[in-house]
Amino acid sequence: MEKRIFRYMSLIIVVTVVSLAALWGLLLERQLGTQAREGLRSLRVSLIRDDGAVIFDNLADTATLDNHQNRPEVIAARQSGTGESERFSDTFGEKSYYYATKTADGNIVRFALTVDSINALILRYVPVFILCLLLVLLFSFFTAKRLTRRVVEPINTMNLDRAEIETYDELSPFVARIEAQKKEIFAQIQALKDRADVIAAITQNMKEGLILTDDDGVILSANRSALDIFDTEDAAGKTLLHICRNLELLQKNQQCLAGESAALLLERNQKMYSVFLNPVHTGNTVTGALLLFLDVTLTYDAERHRQEFSANVSHELKTPLTMISALAEMIENGMAQPEDIPGFAVKISAQSKRLLHIIDNIIRLSAFDEGRAFAEYSSFDLGELAESVIDSLQDSADEKQVRLTVTGEHFSVKANERMFDELLYNLVDNGIKYNQTGGSVIVTLSRKDDSYKITVADTGIGIPPEHIHRVCERFYRVDKSRSQKTGGTGLGLSIVKHIVEYHHGQLETESVLNQGTTISCFFRL
Amino acid sequence: MRNKLEAQLEALNDKLIEMGALTESAIAMSIQALERQDAALARKTIAFDTDIDQMEKDIETLCLRLLLQQQPVAGDLRLISAALKMITDMERIGDQAADIAEISIFLMDTPYIKKLEHIPQMASAAMKMVTDSLDSFVKKDLSLANAVIAYDDVVDGLFEQVKADLIELIHADSKNGGQAIDLIMIAKYLERIGDHAVNIAEWVVFSIAGRHNESFQKRYD
């Protein structure tokens, strides 16, 4: 770059100096020639007498001329033989040079030459000068422009992305610095991007919904789960109001944006979410809110079921106890007639048995829950077991006029016999209890490859579709008013379910209202 | 100028959704009060209506100011005129929710003759219509708005069902008459709520597409 600038500057100076010198020379030569010629033409010769009177003048009338005695050149010539002087005429802007010499006869010859003054000379050549100046300026302008362009062009077209940058040596420190900074920035961007990717990967794969809003409640980002919760494709840039119109959530969000953490339970699309709202602080000001949505449907349902279970247990235990207590009180107070007492005793005994039965079932279920159920497996004939169960239930079946049958093949299985006895007992017992008079319960045993199936089908009242998925819950009753009539505890199917699960089997319930229910248990051999 | 209009339209949009949220809550509360025979909740629902009425006035003022100051055209004008109509429907829904709550207070002390079955179904159907109509407005979803309009038949069908149920109850015992009349009024209010949801959906269709839904055309032809 240095060289280039030097070259151009030198060029401008040389061109200017040379052109000016040439012009000057030209003008000088021209001026000198003109002056010599004009000088000869306009040379004024005067002959002055000793007393100062002009006796000859080639250009002026001698009569009009005054006495020249006091002219400096005349005085000098008279004294020393020759004399010179110069005078400037402001009026004509001219300068006159005089030369006088004394002749042998005592007269004086004087020569006068008038030339233009330097001002006049300059004035005469002003246009030429201006023209010349303009030319030089023009030349300098274009050269300077070209210089600038040539110097700057490599800088302008410098490609910083290219690995090797070809430019002036003088700029290489800057280029190196820029290069280093570029690498640094790139590394930082990459690091930030990586971090953002990690955060995005975490939030996008979270099962919990996550929403981040700014201080106006406008959503900045929402993860996949949050978008799914609110059935929306894109939430960024919208306010919370656009995706959820739950007043409590909106109000809690306002509270959160005021700087206070909040939490609530939100129901949406038949699911329960526990929502936590936390303000995001920057310094002392709240700059946004962070909303976390946890799906607590299962916990919520479990809690609800637990509450129902507790309520049911109390209810189931209370009913027989109330009866026992009432009967006992009547006997105690002597309100019962002696002949009624045996009847009361039968009732008390029955209710106590029922109580014991319920408690026994609850204890057994708790044992399943705690995983400490009897675990001995033995081989036994399933057909024989089914037949013995049917025998034991024959009496109650006869009472309701329900026909009990076992069909299918006899085969040996390896399982806990006591549990299977209970399983079959509960299923057949339910089949009888919820049957119509004159109906039937058919136990079918079948085997295929490495699995077998126990099916108990009744022709009873059936289970309404909306209840079918809940019948295995403890104490769950389709028709709560029937429990007294049938004497059921509401625990039978729950125990069946546990036994099936204990043997790693599967339970299927099919039912048509008023036509019957079929419960199938699948096991591996 | 344009930016100010946009900001005001945005505010109008948000306010409409907010009012929608209020009406949705009002219906949900009134139904809950009815089902659980919860007098406190019913009173809260009635008090809620004041908020909805206030919201209607606010939005109306905003709409009129927008019309006067900004002289909107095309889509913007449609949104504002639809908003003016929609708030009337939303306000009516709020009124009906309050009416249901009022009747449910009368019904507080006596247990229901028969377990409420079709009325809760109707309530959730009407509720779904209101929610979907508001969703169609928020999401500017034409097909959802049309679905709401079609869903009105479900609510109407359920109304007939409720009517049949109640007639049967009166047949069974004329003493049931009083409660049956109260319940039929609730059902009618729910049916009206469904109709208002249809109106909202129709205004959504109008504000998006600039034309009226076919059923709307037929009704007014």
Interface confidence (ipTM) of the complex: 0.75
- Per-residue pLDDT, averaged over B199-220, amounts to 75
What is the sign, positive or negative, of the torsion defined by CA atoms of A86, A91, A93, A94?
negative
- Per-residue pLDDT, averaged over B50-62, amounts to 90
**For domain A300-370, which CATH number applies: 3.30.70.980, 3.40.50.150, 1.10.10.60, 1.10.287.130?**
1.10.287.130
Tokens standing for A398? 């006869």
Residues shown for chain A: 525
What's the confidence (pLDDT) of residue A190? 94
pLDDT surpassing 80 at residue A333: yes
Return the CATH architecture of domain A43-116: 2-Layer Sandwich (3.30)
Q: Closest approach of chain A CAs to the CA of B137, in angstroms? A: 10
Check for a shared fold between A43-116 and A206-295.
Answer: yes
Between chains, do A241 and B18 touch, taking CB under 8 Å as contact? Answer: yes
Between chains, do B138 and A246 touch, taking CB under 8 Å as contact? Answer: no
Report CA A47 to chain centroid distance, whole Å.
113
Range among A473-482, B16-25, B209-218 rated most confident: B16-25
Residue A117's pLDDT band (cuts 50, 70, 90): low
DSSP A381-437: EHHHHHHHHHHHHHHHHHHTT-EEEEEE---EEEE-HHHHHHHHHHHHHHHHHTPPT
Chosen from A243, A245, A252 to mutate, greatest number of chain B CBs within 10 A = A245
Between chains, do B17 and A242 touch, taking CB under 8 Å as contact? Answer: yes
Between chains, do B17 and A245 touch, taking CB under 8 Å as contact? Answer: yes
Residue A187's pLDDT band (cuts 50, 70, 90): very high
Q: Which residues, including other chains, have CB under 8 Å from residue A247's CB and lie 6 or more apart?
A: B21, B22, B25
From A115-129, A146-160, B92-106, the region with the lowest mean pLDDT = A115-129
Residues of B in contact with A241 (CB under 8 A): 14, 17-18, 21
What's the confidence (pLDDT) of residue A92? 63
Residue A485's pLDDT band (cuts 50, 70, 90): low
Residue A363's pLDDT band (cuts 50, 70, 90): confident
Between chains, do A245 and B139 touch, taking CB under 8 Å as contact? Answer: no
Cβ contact A54:A70 at 8 Å: no
**3-state SS assignment for residue A210:** strand
pLDDT surpassing 80 at residue A402: yes
CA distance A297 to A468: 20
A254 touching B (Cβ < 8 Å): no
Residues of A in contact with B21 (CB under 8 A): 241, 245-247, 250
Q: Mean pLDDT over all residues of chain A?
A: 83
> What is the interface size between A and B, counted as CB pairs within 8 Å?
21
Between chains, do A247 and B139 touch, taking CB under 8 Å as contact? Answer: no
What's the confidence (pLDDT) of residue A193? 94
pLDDT surpassing 70 at residue A53: yes
What's the confidence (pLDDT) of residue A268? 85
pLDDT surpassing 70 at residue A165: no
Residues of A in contact with B22 (CB under 8 A): 247
The DSSP letter of residue A475 is: T
CATH code at A206-295? 3.30.450.20
Tokens standing for A518? 């079929």
Which candidate from A245, A247, A250 shows the least CB-CB separation from B134?
A245
pLDDT surpassing 60 at residue B196: yes
Quick: pLDDT tens for A234-250: 888 888 888 888 888 88
pLDDT surpassing 60 at residue A97: yes
- If you compute the radius of gyration of chain B from its CA atoms, what whole number of angstroms results? 19
What's the confidence (pLDDT) of residue A194? 92
Residue A409's pLDDT band (cuts 50, 70, 90): confident
Quick: pLDDT tens for A452-476: 889 999 888 888 877 777 777 777 7
Which candidate from A232, A239, A247 shows the least CB-CB separation from B22?
A247
A242 touching B (Cβ < 8 Å): yes
Q: Closest approach of chain B CAs to the CA of A359, in angstroms? A: 32
Q: Give the full edge-to-edge strand order of the sheet including A285-295.
A: A219-222, A209-214, A285-295, A271-282, A262-268
Helix (H) or strand (E) holding B204: helix B177-209
Cβ contact A458:A477 at 8 Å: no
Between chains, do B21 and A232 touch, taking CB under 8 Å as contact? Answer: no
pLDDT surpassing 60 at residue A200: yes
pTM of full prediction above 0.80: no
CA distance A221 to A132: 73
pLDDT surpassing 80 at residue A44: yes
Whose structure tokens read 């299918």? A408
A241 touching B (Cβ < 8 Å): yes
- Per-residue pLDDT, averaged over A501-523, amounts to 87
Residue A91's pLDDT band (cuts 50, 70, 90): low
Neighbours of B191 (CB within 10 A): 21
Quick: pLDDT tens for A260-310: 899 998 888 888 899 999 998 888 888 889 999 998 988 888 888 788 778
- Per-residue pLDDT, averaged over A338-352, amounts to 85
The DSSP letter of residue A480 is: G
- In order of start, what are the domains of chain B with their CATH numbers? 2-220 (1.20.58.220)
Q: Closest approach of chain A CAs to the CA of B17, in angstroms? A: 7
Q: Which residues, including other chains, have CB under 8 Å from residue A172's CB and lie 6 or more apart?
A: none
What's the confidence (pLDDT) of residue A278? 92
Could you tell me which chain A residue has the CA closest to the CA of B20?
A: A245
Residue scoring higher pLDDT (B95 or A301): B95
Cβ contact A275:A263 at 8 Å: yes
A246 touching B (Cβ < 8 Å): yes
Between chains, do A242 and B25 touch, taking CB under 8 Å as contact? Answer: no
Residue extents of the structural domains in chain A? 1-41+120-157, 43-116, 206-295, 300-370, 378-524
- Per-residue pLDDT, averaged over A150-173, amounts to 73
Question: Quick one: chain B helix, strand, coil %, rounded to 5?
Answer: 90, 0, 10
φ, ψ dihedrals at A95, nearest 5°: -120, 135
What's the confidence (pLDDT) of residue A292? 92
* Residue (of A46, A203, A34) closest to A124 by Cα position: A34
CATH code at A378-524? 3.30.565.10
Residues of B in contact with A250 (CB under 8 A): 18, 21
pLDDT surpassing 70 at residue A375: no
